[in-house]
Structure 1
Amino acid sequence: MAAFGWFWRAMGAQSERNQKKSLKTVAAARAAMEEMRGWSDAQVAQRGREAANTQGEGKHPVVLASLALAAERTMGLQPFDVQLQGVQRLLAGDVIHMATGEGKTLVGAMAATGFAMSGKRVHVVTVNDYLAARDAQWMRPLVEFFGVSVSHVIDEMDAPQRRHAYACDVVYAPVTEIGFDHLRDNQVTRREDEVQVHADVALVDEADSVLVDEALVPLVLAGSVSAQQSTGEITAAVSHLREGRHYTVDADRRNVFLTDEGAAEIERRLGIDSLYSEDAIGSVLVRVNLALHAQALLTRDVHYLVQDGKVQLIDASRGRVADLQRWPDGLQAAVEAKEGLAVSDGGRILDQITLQALMSRYPTVCGMTGTAVEAVDQLRQFYGLTVSVIEPNVPSQRIDHSDAVYATAQLRNRAVVEEIAQAHAKGQPVLVGTHDVAESEALAAALEKRGISVAVLNAKNDEQEAAIVAEAGKASRVTVSTQMAGRGTDITLGEGVAELGGLKVIGTSRHRSSRLDHQLRGRSGRQGDPGESLFFVSLEDDLITTGSDGAQVSAQPDQAGRIEEKRVHDFIAHCQRVTEGQLLTIHAQTWKYNKLLADQREIIDERRASLLDTDAAWQQLAQAAPERAAELEHLNAETKQQAAREIMLFHLDDEWAEHLAIMDDVRESIHLRAIAKETPIDEFHRIAVREFKDLAQRAVEKSVETFRSVLIDDSGAHLEDAGRSRPSATWTYMVSDNPLSGGGGGALSTFESFIS
């Protein structure tokens, strides 16, 4: 507990009491284990189930003891006290902070089994298919020891396979698959067509990534529609604009604004009278702003890649291609047009849900990560979750050096290369964390020029991840990687490396969030291994220019250009705190936009459930159109009820999709409300409430009209013949609402100067 004493003091007395209580529970569990050690497997399992289903604090030691014995007997794993402490805090509903390499997979499986023994269905939420399948198979013997069923869900499964998997007590699944299955289930017209079963607990691996970094990423279900209008003409017009003359960019390079001269230039090139006329403001101006955003703020090989003729987004927190992810349709189309690619069809959005709203559907949410402490505020503010720190089993031996600070990016970059070269010369393996693809490739080229062989792990080759990471701890290895968060693989030291100081982690600049710094740093010094970490910073980094609020700091560099003054280091820490505060503000503001739609979605869910589970649809339509109901008297009750159900669900879902389209348009143009001195969020809420107010009634009225006219016979309602069919094809993707959510590092393009 000593290493995190500052944390417990900051979090208050309640957190410290929880810490002491869990340690006491673990001690009691060890005593119970000795008592149960001679019991048969069946007796241990039975006692564990009995304890899990009793009330009161006294049950926890017995539950932990039975889980620990099961781990020993089925997998040959003997949980450490800190792992049992982690299980206890998960069962209490906390997010636990456990360092890399401390055995979170076993801890999560034991906690999931503990929940399941008490009759709760558990979703163990992972960040990808590989981890879901691996962990479910790996932990299966432990889970099944107690008669608890376990399964996993991955992308390649069909509906029957998913339905079978979700019926199990413990289900391992990527958060995206859980969300997409939820959206698809919201389109069914028969309850038996759903694949998911209600779950009581979400146990989230990489909790800060899912619950914070990607919390506001909307998961989208789209249906086929005709292709959207080309944005080529507007993109061509915008390409002639020049920064400072035709448009300006704010200090943190998150927003871009047309000048009067820029607006006039666009009007001339498009042949329109005014960008700000009532006719243009809702369509042309929005598309001009999106094209300008794509040109001025989004950079190839930083925010996205172009591969195989497609724009592929980069997950800033993981440094990988973000599979299935895209920007909102207008911005996606603008970037595609900017790159000279065919503009893809985004389709009509049928439904969507953010990860934050998805997680809020679970009665209990808990989780684990190596960097929970830095996300305390977000986890508490948005989920009401408490963080519990679990000390490492063996104290960390890693040496975390003070930042190497330089006045300019060029001086810093030279120092980075020199530091890597020195470590490499003595055989010490080096892992270098960069911020984007362009930076990683420029640095690798600079090192290759020095005769240093480099393995590069970035969004262009993340399929080679396992092989690259497996070699990263061997002597003389130099690995250059974009973000290491969520990669799911520990770096093991090679022979003789410990004597050389262990793995050396180098950060080419600080991130906008200290959490990402710690995720990189945590790759070294696992399970008590020796190791080092060192971050480089220049006063020209984005982090400094963004977080300084315009303030400047004078410094006196040494002959090599390095700055040692404490006040400069304090200034850098201040800038990082400022940018972290900005990110929290953005999260809170974005959630305000999403929360109202989430609340409206719950109303639609309730309405759908009523239509699916009762005969309300038939009763309502028969009452509104009794003459039509009389014509159908010869049909059996089940056929009539299902026909009415399909009619009403079609129009309810159709109106909801239309509502989402309207609000998407409002969201893209809401900043224009500031021109009229209106508060954008207040105006968004006013429009959302107004548009939603009559949604249900419109759906009913259209349902009655369809009920009167559509053919209904022994085979049901022929909605397709009446032009009321659901999309012939649907697909899912994620929308990056925050295309500039990068790590906020430094301008490392000057590495290229070492190559020329």
Structure 2
Amino acid sequence: MGLMSKIFGTYSDREVKRIIPVADKIMALESQMGSLSDEELRNKTEEFKERLSKGETLDDILVEAFAVCREGAYRAIGLKPYKVQLIGGIVLHQGRISEMKTGEGKTLVATLPAYLNALAGKGVHIVTVNDYLAKRDKDEMGQVFEFLGLRTGVILHNLNNDERREAYNCDITYGTNSELGFDYLRDNMVVYKEERVQRGLNYAIVDEVDSILIDEARTPLIISGQGDKSTDFYKVADYFAKSLRTEADFTLDEKTKAVLLTDEGVQKAEKFYHLENYADAENMHIQHHTVQALKANYIMKEGVDYLVREEEVMIVDEFTGRVMEGRRYSDGLHQAIEAKEGVKVQKESKTLATITYQNYFRMYTKLSGMTGTAQTEEIEFREIYGLDVVLIPTNRPVQRIDQPDLVYKTEMGKFLAVVNEIEETYKKGQPMLVGTVSIEKSELLSSLLRKKGVPHQVLNAKYHEKEAEIISHAGERGMVTIATNMAGRGTDIKLGDGILDLGGLKIIGTERHESRRIDNQLRGRAGRQGDAGESRFYVSLEDDLMRIFGSDRIKSMVETLGLEDDEAIESKMVSKAIESAQKKVEGNNFDVRKSLIKYDDVMNLQREIIYEERSRVLEGENIKEHILEMVNEVVDAQVEAHLGTASDDRDADIAKLLAVIHDLYLPQGVIEVEDINELNDEELKDKLKVALARYYDIKEAEFGEQMREIERVILLKVVDTKWMDHIDSMDHLKQYIGLRAYKQQDPTQAYQFEGSAMFDEMIYAIKEETTKYLFHIQVQRAPEEREKVAVETSTNQSSEPQGPIKREEDKIGRNDPCPCGSGKKYKNCCGRMA
């Protein structure tokens, strides 16, 4: 803590100090609310809604509403929020992050701002990290809201659209970040507004906000369909990758997880693929497959990054160690791993819709979050989401003892020391939670403990319900629980009888995670609500963090001391060096996420335009004028393209222009070159626009009221098709734009510039294709009706032209007024188009 913080207090100290008087006012209403009957307390909800409708704000009713919710929680579930929980709830209502230690009751805290904000009638989303927690919290805390007269819903993976719509229409909706995000994307792919399930994104409270907005933010949400590219080349590239020698053919950067071919490797690639120049732009797809094959073979590790089960490659979440069912690596990496492992290579998917968590959650009118560990990422929360972090004091002082790290020379020496520590602690009966960084390390430790005869449980991190059940018993006498560092997050570990006398729950970390937050989360499992507890991390110089990011100073110190495998050093200097290494990794990861959002911000602007257009079409009843505007813009563009520059043969240019216009909109011969060759460009544009508007009226007369629906459906289908193609094109641009750095160009600026040009091309293509479809659409008659019309036509000896509006049921004479309303005779107007 700096000198200024010691004198004036930290930022959080000052913010909490400002909020305490408000919390005191809420506490002062305890007896008043306690004197109300259940019905009177419930009626407060309608009273608050009425006051809001008359102009009061949420801040005006905050004190009373929190007091009502506090009393409601006590009557519904027997829990009454403490003063510090009220402070945490106020911070959430203000659209900020409440950092509250593990065990301080964050789930209950969320009910306070959720109740208050739900009174506005626009919906509140409480976001959790998995379905189990969403359902558990809805079932438990939903009792509070139901008691106070509000409706709660939960979004689970297996719900149908009607069930989802009903849940979103509740006052408060629980759900996971991925389900909410995917529903948003799907809502922007529907053809009818009635198919949408979400309403507006009003207010979100994100539980475990660091996990959702930081850890998972590196992977965008993607809805994909099956692509049509062959999978054979993945096997070819894999064969090439396996043929290379590490040092001579490619360089491996574990810090950035990048693989690059050396000059010698490039020569081998050119020979293998029969290329003249590997770096040519025309060979980009070969470069892409090669890089992904190298990454699959030399960076992605089975048991750490993925598992192979029943001939299928399954992703392992690097933070939780959980198998991510149904998820696949994008950009062809998953296929490259399948080729590496010799299982069936699935077809590469095509992205239909995508958004990052950053841009999804930034769309909420108000966003807030809570976690036990946000302080280390405060800069990122502020820069990316505009959220500040406020540390909420604990209800009781923290009693946990955090021991200094023990550093060993080798990984096996470290694990043997961990096993000895576990064995000694087990004999005392003190419960232990042992954190590992991967499934592979969990299994190694488990095998060592079995040899020692120490009973233990290993979380396989596959079933959230089972995981929560195991972790909830981890505080009982003699329990040894091995888990990945983040497993069981969101579930309290309650201590059994007599455990406090044994020193409380002991936390053992078998390796420092690359993020300090994850270590702090593991530590925070012990010492809840002022309980006794202890934590210690065991580290070796062979751990990935120390090997890749550790300082040479530590390594040389260990070498100088001549440590044996079973000997350890313990010093503040080592602990600081480890923390410094973690800061480096956190900085690298922040840069990755910042880079991701820079690219996605370009897509996000485009996404907003497309989705706004879709929404306007979905909600609108009549888009005819919009369609005619599109036609006019296409006409302007085509005239300028064909006649915009001086030419020796204007008649030939006009002929080419008319050929395009006839192809797009009009039957051949409706307008001839001689009709318009004397007109200047502006007169020509006007002439074409009038003719097209008249012809569109004829087309509309053919379809009647159906035309409005046809316009809407065709426009949406074209928008969706072109947008999906554009996403694919932008993906390819992003893959290769990094090469611009070699030309002294900023890749993100180049991506923005070229992406904008591609977007403009897509918008024009939407206008051209939509209007072309509408001008060419035909009435589909039933077979018997077509036969009848054919017979009637064959017996009709009239010489009158059979134009598009010339149906048997409404014959129009050539000298009759034209139905388009121009005032001219049919033969001199639309009859020319027949």
When structure 1 is superposed on structure 2, of 463-472 and 156-165 the one drifting more is: 463-472
Deviation at 1:12, TM superposition (A): 7.2
CA 1:566/1:50 → structure 2, altered by over 3 Å: closer, same or farther? same
Deviation at 1:179, TM superposition (A): 0.9
Deviation at 1:712, TM superposition (A): 5.0
Q: Distance in 2 between matches of 1:616 and 1:208?
A: 45
* 1:232 counterpart = 2:235: yes
- 1:494-513 aligned at under 5 Å gives the runs 494-513=496-515
CA 1:589/1:224 → structure 2, altered by over 3 Å: closer, same or farther? closer
When structure 1 is superposed on structure 2, of 546-555 and 345-354 the one drifting more is: 546-555
Q: Contact 1:143 / 1:149 at 8 angstroms: preserved in 2? A: yes
When structure 1 is superposed on structure 2, of 133-142 and 622-631 the one drifting more is: 622-631
Deviation at 1:453, TM superposition (A): 2.3
CA 1:569/1:162 → structure 2, altered by over 3 Å: closer, same or farther? closer
Q: Contact 1:553 / 1:571 at 8 angstroms: preserved in 2? A: no
CA deviation vs aligned residue, 1:445-503 (integer Å, no higher than 9, x gap): 11211222231113467664134223322222222111225633222223332222121
* 1:597 counterpart = 2:594: no
CA 1:135/1:713 → structure 2, altered by over 3 Å: closer, same or farther? farther
CA 1:469/1:36 → structure 2, altered by over 3 Å: closer, same or farther? closer
CA 1:343/1:85 → structure 2, altered by over 3 Å: closer, same or farther? same
Q: Which residue of 2 aligns with 1:694?
A: 761
Q: Which residue of 1 aligns with 2:296?
A: 294
Q: Which residue of 2 aligns with 1:614?
A: 620
* 1:43 counterpart = 2:49: no
Q: Which residue of 2 aligns with 1:734?
A: none
Q: Secondary structure at the match of 1:433?
A: strand
Q: Distance in 2 between matches of 1:368 and 1:207?
A: 6
Q: Which residue of 2 aligns with 1:67?
A: 69
Q: Contact 1:26 / 1:84 at 8 angstroms: preserved in 2? A: yes
CA 1:587/1:714 → structure 2, altered by over 3 Å: closer, same or farther? farther
Q: Distance in 1 between matches of 2:483 and 2:12?
A: 36
When structure 1 is superposed on structure 2, of 671-680 and 374-383 the one drifting more is: 671-680
Normalised TM-score (structure 2): 0.81
Q: Which residue of 2 aligns with 1:578?
A: 584
- 1:278-677 aligned at under 5 Å gives the runs 278-280=281-283, 282-459=284-461, 464-484=466-486, 487-548=489-550, 554-555=556-557, 556=561, 560-615=566-621, 617-622=623-628, 624=631, 625-626=692-693, 627-637=695-705, 639-677=706-744
Deviation at 1:249, TM superposition (A): 0.8
Q: Contact 1:201 / 1:365 at 8 angstroms: preserved in 2? A: yes
When structure 1 is superposed on structure 2, of 192-201 and 612-621 the one drifting more is: 612-621
Q: Distance in 2 between matches of 1:503 and 1:298?
A: 35
CA deviation vs aligned residue, 1:97-141 (integer Å, no higher than 9, x gap): 112222211111232111112333101111111122221122223
* 1:20 counterpart = 2:17: yes
Q: Distance in 1 between matches of 2:198 and 2:497?
A: 48
Deviation at 1:271, TM superposition (A): 3.4
Amino acid paired to 1:186 = N
Q: Distance in 2 between matches of 1:191 and 1:55?
A: 31
Q: Which residue of 2 aligns with 1:725?
A: none
CA deviation vs aligned residue, 1:608-656 (integer Å, no higher than 9, x gap): 122222256432335634314412314343x211211111111111111
Q: Which residue of 2 aligns with 1:101?
A: 103
- Please, which runs of 5 or more residues in structure 2 have no aligned partner? 632-691, 783-834
Amino acid paired to 1:664 = D
- Please, which runs of 5 or more residues in structure 1 have no aligned partner? 716-756
Q: Which residue of 1 aligns with 2:132?
A: 130
Q: Distance in 1 between matches of 2:779 and 2:16?
A: 64
When structure 1 is superposed on structure 2, of 459-468 and 398-407 the one drifting more is: 459-468
Q: Distance in 1 between matches of 2:63 and 2:439?
A: 49
Q: Secondary structure at the match of 1:554?
A: helix
Q: Which residue of 1 aligns with 2:225?
A: 223
Normalised TM-score (structure 1): 0.89
Q: Distance in 2 between matches of 1:506 and 1:59?
A: 46
Q: Which residue of 2 aligns with 1:707?
A: 774
CA 1:74/1:472 → structure 2, altered by over 3 Å: closer, same or farther? closer
CA 1:35/1:470 → structure 2, altered by over 3 Å: closer, same or farther? closer
CA 1:129/1:57 → structure 2, altered by over 3 Å: closer, same or farther? closer
Deviation at 1:5, TM superposition (A): 11
Give the share of equivalent positions with the same residue, in percent: 36
Q: Contact 1:238 / 1:266 at 8 angstroms: preserved in 2? A: no
Q: Contact 1:247 / 1:259 at 8 angstroms: preserved in 2? A: yes
Deviation at 1:48, TM superposition (A): 5.4
Amino acid paired to 1:345 = K
Q: Distance in 2 between matches of 1:392 and 1:314?
A: 34
When structure 1 is superposed on structure 2, of 307-316 and 555-564 the one drifting more is: 555-564
Q: Contact 2:554 / 2:574 at 8 angstroms: preserved in 1? A: no
Deviation at 1:320, TM superposition (A): 0.7
Q: Distance in 1 between matches of 2:571 and 2:10?
A: 36
Q: Distance in 2 between matches of 1:328 and 1:11?
A: 49
**How many residues get paired?**
710
CA 1:682/1:10 → structure 2, altered by over 3 Å: closer, same or farther? farther
CA deviation vs aligned residue, 1:680-717 (integer Å, no higher than 9, x gap): 223222221221122211101011121122335699xx
Q: Secondary structure at the match of 1:681?
A: helix
Q: Distance in 1 between matches of 2:603 and 2:195?
A: 26
Q: CA RMSD in A?
A: 2.5
Q: Distance in 1 between matches of 2:781 and 2:358?
A: 43
Deviation at 1:198, TM superposition (A): 0.9
Larger RCO: Structure 1 or Structure 2 (Cα < 8 Å, ≥ 6 residues apart)?
Answer: 1
Q: Contact 2:242 / 2:297 at 8 angstroms: preserved in 1? A: yes
* 1:263 counterpart = 2:330: no
Q: Contact 1:51 / 1:60 at 8 angstroms: preserved in 2? A: no
Q: Distance in 2 between matches of 1:388 and 1:101?
A: 17
Higher helix share: 2
Q: Contact 1:643 / 1:712 at 8 angstroms: preserved in 2? A: no
CA 1:567/1:622 → structure 2, altered by over 3 Å: closer, same or farther? closer
Q: Contact 2:224 / 2:351 at 8 angstroms: preserved in 1? A: yes
Q: Contact 2:138 / 2:154 at 8 angstroms: preserved in 1? A: yes
Q: Secondary structure at the match of 1:325?
A: coil
CA deviation vs aligned residue, 1:529-582 (integer Å, no higher than 9, x gap): 221100112233322343347666532366753223433332222222222222
Q: Contact 1:434 / 1:440 at 8 angstroms: preserved in 2? A: yes
CA 1:219/1:640 → structure 2, altered by over 3 Å: closer, same or farther? same
Q: Distance in 1 between matches of 2:373 and 2:3?
A: 15
